[in-house]
Amino acid sequence: MAGFPSKAKGNLRGVKAKQPHPGVPLDKNMMLALIAKHGGNLSRVADAMGAARHSLRRRCDADKELAEALENARERQIDELEESCWDRAKKSNDTTLQLFLLKTQAKHRGYDQDEAKNAAKDIASAAFAFILDKSKAS
DSSP-based helix, strand, coil % in the chain, nearest 5: 70, 0, 30
Dihedral sign from CA coordinates of 13, 18, 24, 29: negative
Rounded CA gap, 101 and 5, in Å?
Answer: 33
- pLDDT tens string 64-104: 999 999 999 999 999 999 999 999 999 988 888 888 888 88
How does the average pLDDT of the chain come out, rounded? 80
At residue 138, the pLDDT reads 64
pLDDT at 8 over 60: no
pTM: 0.59
pLDDT at 23 over 70: no
Contact 20, 46 (CB under 8 A): yes
Q: How many CB atoms lie within 10 A of CB 83?
A: 10
What interhelical angle do 28-37 and 42-49 show, nearest 10? Answer: 130
